[in-house]
Structures are given as C-alpha cells and as structure tokens.
C-alpha cells in the first residue's frame, strides 16, 4: 500500500487493486499515465477540479499524490474567501513561518494589507528580495512556480518600543478591564472588581492613560480617604482592591509601563496600501517580549477588538480589507475564563462582515477552542509529531477535524516534509474544497531577518515614526489625584475636575424635601457633570469617541457608559 492513501478509497480507484501495475491504465484507456495526455486516477482529478477557481486566488503550491508532486494540479485559495478566517498549524520546524510569508506576499501583491505577529524575529525579510539558490530553484521547478526575487512594502512595529520598530502602545482606558485582567492574571472576582474601578474612573472623569493612572485610582480607593467611595461602589472589597494594587505594582516593576500610554496606536494604520497599490505588510516584532506571552497575545486581541469597533460593515467584499495572522494563538486561550472566550468567539464571528480575515497560527487545532475553530474556513496543516500518547491523541483529534478524503491522514500528517501541508479551503461558492496534500511554493522575499541596521533605518524613515516614537505623559488621573491630595481644599477626587481657571463647585448641602427649582437644577447627575467637564472633553479628544471605546469594551464584559 502506498503511503498516505486511504485504503478504503484506494480499493475502488487504484489500478493496483485491479491487477494492474501502478501508473498504468486499462489497454483501451490510451497512453501510459506518465504522459501528459493520460487520464489521472479519479481522486486526483476530483481534488484538482476542486481548486480550479475562475476568480482571483492565491497559489499555495502543487498537489502531492502517491509521493509525487503534480505541478499542473495547483492548490489555491480564492481571494474573497480569505475573510472567512483560517488556521495554520503544525509542529515546530515544519514551515509555518514560511507559509505566512508566502501568503502575505501574495495578499500584498493583490492590494490587501496584512498584519503579521513576528514572534521569532525572522519575518522582516519580507521587505527585501529573496536570495536565489539551488533549494529555491528545485522547489519552484517541482511546484511549477515562476519564481522571481521580490521585496514587498512593509512597516515595522515593536510592542512598547521594545525591539526594532515603531512603538505600539494602548491607553489603559481603551484596553479595558477584561483584557487587562487577562494580562495581570486576575481571577474572575478580581476581574469584576477591576471593572468597577474602571466604572468609577469613568464616572469621575479620571483619565486612565497609563498604568500609574490606574494604580493611583486603586490606591485612592484603598486609602482611608477613598474608603467611602469604595463602599459606595459595592462589590469591591478593600482586600480585593489591595490585591489588584499589589498585582499592578508588581506588573510595573517588570518593566511593562512602556506598553500602556500615549500616543495610542491607531489600528487604521494597519489598513494602508503603498503608492503602487500593493498592500502594506505590518510586522509587529515580538521577540523582545517572548517572556511575556500573556501580554503580547492579549495585545493582539486588543488590536482586533479595536479594528472591530472602528470598521464599518461591508458584507462579502471582492477582497479582504485586512488579513490578520494571530501567531502563538494558544497563549490567548490558555487559562482564559468562559466570558473571555465567549467574547473572543463573538469578535471573530462578527469581524468577518467588516472585511477582516483572521488566521490563527499554532501547533495543533486543539489549541483553539471548538467554538472558534468552527468559524475557520481555511486550513493549512503542516506535519504533526506523534512521539507520546498525548501526541497520538492530538493527531487523531486533528484527523477528525478534516473532511473525509482519499488520504490516510493519520499516516500522511506524520510523514509530511518541511514546506509541505494538508490543505482544505472554502471554494468560491463557500463549500469546502477536497483535502489536498500540498508541496508549498517558495516565498519570493528574503527567508530570514534583514540586517538590524537596515531595519532601524527603515523604521526611522517611516512617516509614522514621528507620530508614535516619543511617549507623551499628559495630565490624567495620577496628576489629578496627586493634586487633590496635596491641596485638599481645591477639590476632591470624587468631584469632576473643573475647567482651568474655574473654581470647583461646592457639593450641595442636604436640602429639605421640597427643593427650590434652582437647587434642583444645580444638583446635576454625576454623568452630566462628567460630560460637561474639561477632563471628559480632553479624554474624548485623546482617546477617540469614548462611547465607541465602551462598545469595544462591552465585547469583553464591560457595560456601556450611561447616557
């Protein structure tokens, strides 16, 4: 029996089972099978027909059958279907990174912007032409690829400015309590309590730009002066406030302050195209923060949530507005609460209609929750290892997630070479294509990192560098609470701050049951005071429409601001 072919289907279609040698046909069938005009085995013809799309598509590689590469049987994915999300999986060293590079190049060439999370620091080569060599020439000849060394327009970012790239920061307000709780490792009760802290800051007009702002608000609520405010919140105990405060302090001590603050990164930068019409490939370098996996994986989710809020509905477009590759996806889901997973699932489900395709990149499909996995229409599965009983169990579970096919997938997935994968995608009419073992094409850009000096030069030459390079520390909750503590008579933190040069309003004294019309007018609601304050206007200018940010945060368990 030939390796990788399902014996149940082979018996019906294989010439060998009908008393014929391999690659031979019946005498009346014409020339031998190794000539260009020979008919193919039925499974090969069916698989090949499943990838013969009429519209624009990305070329992944050539079909593998019976250990042979068939360059005239191309495996492709329709461009409009790339917003139906996908999965790129496989063991370490099987070629996942090169697959991302290959797909990103072709998307860019089709005018689609791409976001790549570069965990290992070797995707910067997409901005430089590839180096021809024997391996590239051999691979391109095998798969029928007309290989040309090419560079693609790229923008380089670094989380918090750690690494070679334009700094990417988020304000604490826009990040929200649920995502921040994931980063801090808070339990469900502490997460809910942190949500109350955000609610309190929103009510009082205290801007949470960076971590010290949030720490100042929590410290105030845990102090003797803020204890009445803490009691009024309800559900936030002094003990829990103390735990959150200690966690924040320890988190800052790890050097994480640079990830939060201003200027906040605008995710619309990821949707840019170059002057020649090609999509810009945005590469976020994460190698400097590999030791903080919870941080960078949650930051990637924040980018998606922010895009979800900002983008309008487009329905089924001719091509995606952006394809977002979410590397090391298992880190996002590890130890996540059910509410968090539900929010991720909802975001992935709804962002498709806004023209964004999301590809999760991980080692095995079991790393991704089933509710999320069910929404991924495109699959590129590289080789899996099966050295332990756990590996065997994961292998069997992976095989069960594929449609029925003529391949013996359990055998095939452990025998794939580097740069080979099992593929199934959505056809132009939305139906799954046949499972196809594929030898993938070679990327045309440099398969490795560019020189650090060249990379730094490209970063500083970017028009975005001046916009985001220098951190800004404007007056916010930390400064306002410090001023209130230094000058108790000038205004307490529980009052919305007054406009510059304006005296703070006095709290109304207890009135008789029948108040005068003037007194009733002066006793505004907290929200009315906040909306009218200078702080609220400043916050709206700096962070964007606050209502919009609350909608984004509502996807992760935070209620909208009252109106």
Q: What is the 3-state secondary structure (H, E, C) of 307-355?
A: HHHHCCCCCCCCCCCEEEEECCCHHHHCCCCHHHHHHHHHHHHHHHHHC
Instruction: Kindly report, residue by residue over 437-492, the tens digit of the pLDDT.
Output: 999 999 999 999 999 999 999 999 999 999 999 999 999 999 999 998 887 655 44
**Per-residue pLDDT at 44 exceeds 50:** yes
- Provide the pLDDT for residue 557: 35
Instruction: Kindly report, residue by residue over 323-337, the tens digit of the pLDDT.
Output: 999 888 888 888 777
When pLDDT is cut at 50, 70 and 90, the band that residue 494 belongs to is low
Dihedrals phi, psi of 35, to nearest 5 degrees: -95, 155
**Cβ(124)–Cβ(118) below 8 Å:** yes
Instruction: Kindly report, residue by residue over 411-439, the tens digit of the pLDDT.
Output: 999 999 999 999 999 999 999 999 999 99
Q: What is the mean pLDDT of the chain?
A: 82
**Per-residue pLDDT at 14 exceeds 90:** no
Instruction: Kindly report, residue by residue over 182-235, the tens digit of the pLDDT.
Output: 899 998 889 889 989 998 998 888 999 999 999 999 999 988 888 888 888 877
Selection from 17, 95, 33, 34 nearest residue 61 by Cα: 95
**Cβ(535)–Cβ(496) below 8 Å:** yes
- pLDDT higher at 19 or 463: 463
Dihedrals phi, psi of 402, to nearest 5 degrees: -95, 155
- Provide the pLDDT for residue 518: 42
Q: How far apart are CA 413 and CA 399, in angstroms?
A: 9
- Provide the pLDDT for residue 226: 87
Strand order in the sheet with 114-118: 68-78, 57-65, 436-440, 420-424, 378-381, 86-89, 356-362, 322-326, 114-118, 281-285, 154-159, 166-168
* H-run or E-run covering 44: helix 42-50
- Provide the pLDDT for residue 444: 97
**Per-residue pLDDT at 70 exceeds 90:** yes
Residue ranges of domains in the chain: 45-165+266-469, 172-258
Token readout for 533 is 């304050």
**Cβ(475)–Cβ(265) below 8 Å:** no
Q: How far apart are CA 412 and CA 352, in angstroms?
A: 32
Selection from 121, 159, 115, 92 nearest residue 298 by Cα: 159
Cα angle value 357/185/291 (rounded, 5°): 70
Exposed/middle/buried for residue 182 (C-beta within 10 Å: 0-12, 13-18, 19+): buried
Question: Which of 21-35, 238-252, 430-444 tops mean pLDDT?
Answer: 430-444
Q: How far apart are CA 472 and CA 450, in angstroms?
A: 30
- pLDDT higher at 513 or 351: 351
Q: How far apart are CA 427 and CA 433, in angstroms?
A: 6
Strand-pair partners of 87: 360, 379
Q: How far apart are CA 333 and CA 320, in angstroms?
A: 25
Evaluate if pTM is beyond 0.85. no
Token readout for 246 is 């200690």
- Provide the pLDDT for residue 48: 95
**Cβ(467)–Cβ(179) below 8 Å:** no
Tokens 């994460």 — which residue?
286
Q: How far apart are CA 106 and CA 74, in angstroms?
A: 15
**Cβ(63)–Cβ(45) below 8 Å:** no
Cα angle value 523/526/531 (rounded, 5°): 110
A 10 A CB-CB count for 248 gives 20
- Provide the pLDDT for residue 533: 41
Token readout for 329 is 């996806």
The dihedral over CA atoms of 60, 66, 70, 73, expressed in degrees to the nearest 10, equals -60
Strand-pair partners of 115: 282, 324
Q: Is the dihedral of CA 267, 550, 253, 264 positive or negative?
A: positive
* H-run or E-run covering 199: helix 188-204
Within 8 A by CB and 6+ apart from 387, the residues are none
**Cβ(85)–Cβ(242) below 8 Å:** no
**CA of 87: how far to CAs of 325, 359, 381, in Å?**
9, 5, 8
Please compute the mean of the pLDDT values over residues 246-251 and round it to a whole number.
Answer: 93
- pLDDT higher at 540 or 264: 264
Cα 287–chain centre separation? 16
Indicate the CATH number of 45-165+266-469 among 3.40.50.300, 3.30.70.260, 3.30.1330.60, 3.10.580.10: 3.40.50.300
**Cβ(87)–Cβ(373) below 8 Å:** yes
**Per-residue pLDDT at 541 exceeds 90:** no
Selection from 388, 435, 427, 434 nearest residue 409 by Cα: 435
Token readout for 336 is 């996540």
Q: How far apart are CA 55 and CA 546, in angstroms?
A: 41
- Provide the pLDDT for residue 41: 66
Strand-pair partners of 114: 281, 323
Given the DSSP bridges, would you call strands 436-440 and 57-65 parallel, antiparallel or unpaired?
A: antiparallel
Share of the chain above pLDDT 90, in %: 55
């Amino acid at each position: 029996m030939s390796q990788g072919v399902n014996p149940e289907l082979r018996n019906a279609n294989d010439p060998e089972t009908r008393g014929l040698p391999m690659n031979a046909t019946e005498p009346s069938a014409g020339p031998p099978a190794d000539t260009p005009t020979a008919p193919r085995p039925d499974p090969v013809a069916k698989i090949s027909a499943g990838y013969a799309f009429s519209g624009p598509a990305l070329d992944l590689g050539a079909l593998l059958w019976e250990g042979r590469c068939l360059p005239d049987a191309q495996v492709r994915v329709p461009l409009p279907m790339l917003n139906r999300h996908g999965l790129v999986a496989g063991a370490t060293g099987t070629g996942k990174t090169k697959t991302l590079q290959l797909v990103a190049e072709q998307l860019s060439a089709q005018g689609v912007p791409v976001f790549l999370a570069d965990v290992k620091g070797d995707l910067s080569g997409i901005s430089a032409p590839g180096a021809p060599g024997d391996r590239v020439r051999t691979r391109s000849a095998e798969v029928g690829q007309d290989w040309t060394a090419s560079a693609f327009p790229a923008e380089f970012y670094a989380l918090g400015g750690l690494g070679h790239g334009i700094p990417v920061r988020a304000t604490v307000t826009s990040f929200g309590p649920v995502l921040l709780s994931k980063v801090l490792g808070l339990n469900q009760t502490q997460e809910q309590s942190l949500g109350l802290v955000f609610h309190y800051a929103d009510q009082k007009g205290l801007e949470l730009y960076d971590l010290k702002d949030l720490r100042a608000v929590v410290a105030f609520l845990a102090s003797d002066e803020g204890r009445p405010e803490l009691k009024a919140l309800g559900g936030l105990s002094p003990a829990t406030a103390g735990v959150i405060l200690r966690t924040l302090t320890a988190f800052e001590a790890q050097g994480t302050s640079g990830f939060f603050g201003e200027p906040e990164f605008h995710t619309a930068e990821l949707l840019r195209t170059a002057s020649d019409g090609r999509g810009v490939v945005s590469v976020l370098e994460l190698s400097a923060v590999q030791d903080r996996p919870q941080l960078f994986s949650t930051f990637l989710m924040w980018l998606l949530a922010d895009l979800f809020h900002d983008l309008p509905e487009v329905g089924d477009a001719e091509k995606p507005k952006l394809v977002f590759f979410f590397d090391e996806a298992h880190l996002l889901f590890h130890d996540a609460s059910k509410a968090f997973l539900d929010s991720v699932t909802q975001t992935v489900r709804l962002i498709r209609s806004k023209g964004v395709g999301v590809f999760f990149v991980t080692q095995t499909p079991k790393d991704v929750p089933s509710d999320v996995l069910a929404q991924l229409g495109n699959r590129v599965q590289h080789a899996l290892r099966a050295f332990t009983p756990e590996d065997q169990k994961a292998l069997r579970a992976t095989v069960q997630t594929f449609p029925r096919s003529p391949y013996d997938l359990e055998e095939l997935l452990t025998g794939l070479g580097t740069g080979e994968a099992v593929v199934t995608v959505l056809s132009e009419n939305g139906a799954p294509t046949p499972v196809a073992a594929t030898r993938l094409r070679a990327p045309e850009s440099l398969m490795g990192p560019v020189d650090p000096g060249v990379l730094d030069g490209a970063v500083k030459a970017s028009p975005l560098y001046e916009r985001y390079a220098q951190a800004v520390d404007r007056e916010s909750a930390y400064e306002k609470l410090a001023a209130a503590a230094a000058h108790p008579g000038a205004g307490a933190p529980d009052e919305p701050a007054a406009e510059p040069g304006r005296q703070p309003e006095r709290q109304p004294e207890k009135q008789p049951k029948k108040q005068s019309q003037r007194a009733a007018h002066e006793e505004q609601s907290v929200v009315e005071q906040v909306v009218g304050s200078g702080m609220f206007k400043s916050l709206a200018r700096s962070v964007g429409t606050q209502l919009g940010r609350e909608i984004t945060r509502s996807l992760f368990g935070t209620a909208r601001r009252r109106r």
